[in-house]
Structure formats: structure tokens, C-alpha cells
Structure 1
Amino acid sequence: MNEQLPLSARLLRKSDTPSEDLSRSWHLEMSPLCKKFISGDMTGKWCIFVSRADVDAAWNKIKHALEHNQLLCAKVSTALHSMAHGSIHVICVYTDNWTNLQDLMHARDVLRTLGFTEELGYKRDVDTQNGRTGSDEWYLRV
């Protein structure tokens, strides 16, 4: 990130690089087959937590899989978002139906082939929207 620029100039400048973008909280990408994605009661996401040093390379892997229709939709937190959450970024890789275990595991398998081999958590959007956390939420770890 160009630390020589004043903060006001950096806040107004967009970047395609998540670790440098202070103009918005999230970058969102969808596969060419996904014309519209609306988070709702049936959607959910795999959550990948990465450091600032690793977020850009990780996001590029996810974007490549999206471009090749291997994944449906994903978003990544930017430098602006991580300012309020420490130096950790999150990448959310969405599925459109959390009850479809085959679809969930397909997305997980794609992530594994991309190098995300550590245990990941899957969270339903309905739980996020209703503020459910911990023992009150449905959460899958694979």
C-alpha cells in the first residue's frame, strides 16, 4: 500500500487488490453462470480467514475458480474492513442451498484443490442475518 499518500486520497482511491482497497469493505465476484446472487434463508458460505500478507494471492485463486464456473459467488474483505477487525481478512465462498450437502462438499473440494486444505467452517446466512453465533448457530467444520 502506498503509505505516502494522505489518508483522504487513499480512501477515495479504489483498488482491485483487497489488501490495498480502502474505498469499500468488500470485493464481490460471481461466476459467469451466476447472474444474480441474493443472500437469504437457504444460502450459506465457507469462511476462509487469511492474513493481510496472504489475502491477495488467496483471492486470486478464488477469482480464477469463479471465472471457470467452479464456484458460484465469493466476496473478500478489504483493507478498509480489516482496519476494524485486526489484520485478518475473510473470504466467503457462497453456495445457494445449505441443505444440499453435495453442493456444499463440491465447493469445499474445489477449495481444497486450490490449496485451502486447513479445516474450514461453513455458516448459514440466515444465522448471520439473525445475529446467531456460537451454540445458537448451525455450523459445519470440514
Structure 2
Amino acid sequence: MASSVLAQALPIRCVRNAHSDPREAHATRHAPAALPGRRNCLLLLTAATALNTLQMPSKAADIPLFGLRQGLRKVEKKAEELVKEGFETVDKGVVAAEKGIEAAEKGFEAAEKGIETAEKGIETTRQNPPASLVDNGVN
């Protein structure tokens, strides 16, 4: 529809030779093709721009460069979220490891106290053996 309006607005005139014999066509001079004037060129330029704009509505995301940028932004946001989650997981792991180390230290301290108590018990039994052991001759 728009192209027919454009064709009507810009008549391009060409002069043709209607000679049937090729020798006659070469014998006569050809008239030069009529070139469009400044007004027609201006109208053509304006109409062509308007037609291109109407025919191809596009978004910035459809343009490859902008589409790549938008895609990169999405990927960067996802990467940032993954890194944050990774740091949170590492922090939780460090806290859990610290608690485990503290529990192990308490276990070692309890074991040391148990060993010390056992050693004291052994020393006291050597110094003062029970009567049942002395009577049997175990000493």
C-alpha cells in the first residue's frame, strides 16, 4: 500500500524508442531519461525512511549488540548470586569447622582429665593396696 503511494508520488519518466527494426533504433538518438527533481528526491528520502521505520519496529534487545549486553547483564547477575551463595556456604562451613574443632578440644581436655584421674588412682592403689589384693599375694 505504501509502496503504491510512493510510486504515484514519484513518477519516473523514461523515453523509449518504439522502433521494431534495430537498425532504426541505432540510427536515431535516444532521449536521456528524465531524472527526478529536488522535491521528488526529498519526498523519496522522507517516504523511504518512514516506510523502513513502519515496516521494521524493533526493540533494543533485538539489535544484536544490545541483545548481547542484556544477556551479559543477566549472566553477570546470576554469577554474582552464585558467588554470594558460595561465600555464604564457605562461611557456614568455616563456622561448622570451628565448632567441630572446639568440640574436639573439649574432648581432648576431658580425655586428659580422665587419664590424670586414672594415673592418680593407680598411684594410690600402689601406695595403699586394697586388703583383698594383699591377702591373695598379688602384690
Greater relative contact order (CA < 8 Å, ≥ 6 in sequence) = 1
With normalisation by structure 1, the TM-score equals 0.18
Instruction: Indicate the structure with greater helix content.
Output: 2
Larger Rg: 2
Q: TM-score, normalised by structure 2?
A: 0.18
